[in-house]
Structure 1
């Protein structure tokens, strides 16, 4: 891949983001790249000496987009750029950083290496979903992590009827239901008791949130499954139900609304530094066995 035009996207709500954006932009220009900066990032950070561009313009012009922020910033950028097939690099200016995996302190060196061809490519599936009220489509959206149906306020559980490829699976009463990609399996789905799916596993996972019946367990389905979830009853929930696409919310769903979820035809491409390991990320973020046998950890330089 040749990266002639590179776009910068940042979590502009973070203080102190202007300096690393300027520094990274200068590194890119020194290598001969044309640098774009996402328009709201430029406006809110004051980094205006690179060419401002909308996400649509970035999709049309850029060969690469570098996202500086946390995983939420990456999720938002991935949904915007997925239809353009622009590869993404994540620089962690947040906290956890499962998909923004390059530390800010080593960003310049890592980006220079990637521009010179020292990278690992990683493709991730997306979900697409819509909320139907009768024959009317209320909203639709893409999700890199998950589509979530849950109760919107205080009160009782909601009742959901779940179908897969036109076949009835089950009805459940719960606080909600998570439909997650392998990328999203380490997000809310993991907190709710779901399994971790390796990104190369071609599957989706359904995870009930606090189900009334404890036999309602997470289930893994083929990635080409078409899911239809109907809100059968809202019980004593005062504020209705909500649907989230990567935590972007449609509230005030009604009884009888149907949520259709399937794999999107688009994929997101991540580029990582040479030597990237998904298992290293899990060890780092989930603290797997760090205190048991540190000599087994290739990332531990203390030995």
Structure 2
């Protein structure tokens, strides 16, 4: 039986021009539907919306049972990562450009949101990545990602050389501009731009995608999402690692990045009839 909701969090891309009237209209709609509404604190502060509780991410996670995210995929990525430990389902209304995970068009929010509130929706779980950066036997950084973990060369330096291990097995030493470890969700992000394949979100796997490799035989690999991927910095100056939008710069030789499947998932809600293939067709313009 579909979950019915009581308390909805609203988060918006507050830098977007003209977003305040949209946020206010959605908040009023939710209130008129008999729901409690709270705003994410930065959204409230930067739009000047009043009349609703402005809560931190932790407070939203503890109080709310649904989050409506208005913006682009970047807005959703950041908020989804914050909400993952609380298991709150997310519904994305797209006011950005591509919108693979904020997939409801802004002009259709009302007709899409109403049936979801009535309990008529589909739930789509998405796997997440987590990992650490190790230096001299100690963890110096931890991160959580919905899209990808990216190791990149320095801005002015040459290629980075990485030692790649999967589980207990050595894979290769690779020289490239970087390497992407992507979830199925991330397969339509940076990994796609770097020449990787698209993975359906239900596939229990991830991608290793080289970025401009020195050797053209270094190709993307699809892996089962079991065990751990280890990337050791062998050579290259000022390399960095990025967990979605969280970065650590100036990695040193010998630093190791470990990546594995997170215990957390993100749950996206979609109106009945939603299709992943229709999203790909629309966003990638697969038209006849």
Q: How many Å separate the matches in 2 of 1:22 and 1:213?
A: 53
Name the structure 2 match of 1:13: 15
Q: How many Å separate the matches in 2 of 1:110 and 1:35?
A: 18
Picking from 75, 96, 99, the partner of 2:98 is 96
Which runs of structure 2 are paired with 1:201-280 in the superposition (5 Å)?
Answer: 201-234=203-236, 237=237, 240-280=238-278
* 8 Å contact kept, 2:162–2:175: yes
Q: Deviations over 1:9-29 (max 9, x none)?
A: 011111211101110011101
1:158 and 2:160 correspond: yes
Which runs of structure 2 are paired with 1:1-303 in the superposition (5 Å)?
Answer: 1-234=3-236, 237=237, 240-288=238-286, 290=287, 292=288
Q: Deviations over 1:7-57 (max 9, x none)?
A: 000111112111011100111011100001000100000112111111101
Q: How many Å separate the matches in 1 of 2:111 and 2:188?
A: 28
Q: How many Å separate the matches in 2 of 1:252 and 1:138?
A: 12
Q: How many Å separate the matches in 1 of 2:273 and 2:52?
A: 31
Q: Deviations over 1:222-252 (max 9, x none)?
A: 1123011100011xx4xx1010011321111
Q: Deviations over 1:181-200 (max 9, x none)?
A: 00000000001010100000
Q: Which runs of 5+ in 2 are unaligned?
A: none
Measure how far apart 1:152 and its partner are. 2.2
State the TM-score, normalizing by the size of structure 2. Answer: 0.98
3-state DSSP of counterpart to 2:30: helix
Q: Which runs of 5+ in 1 are unaligned?
A: 293-303
Q: How many Å separate the matches in 2 of 1:136 and 1:12?
A: 38
* 8 Å contact kept, 2:78–2:245: no
Q: How many Å separate the matches in 1 of 2:264 and 2:135?
A: 26
State the TM-score, normalizing by the size of structure 1. Answer: 0.93
Number of equivalenced pairs: 286
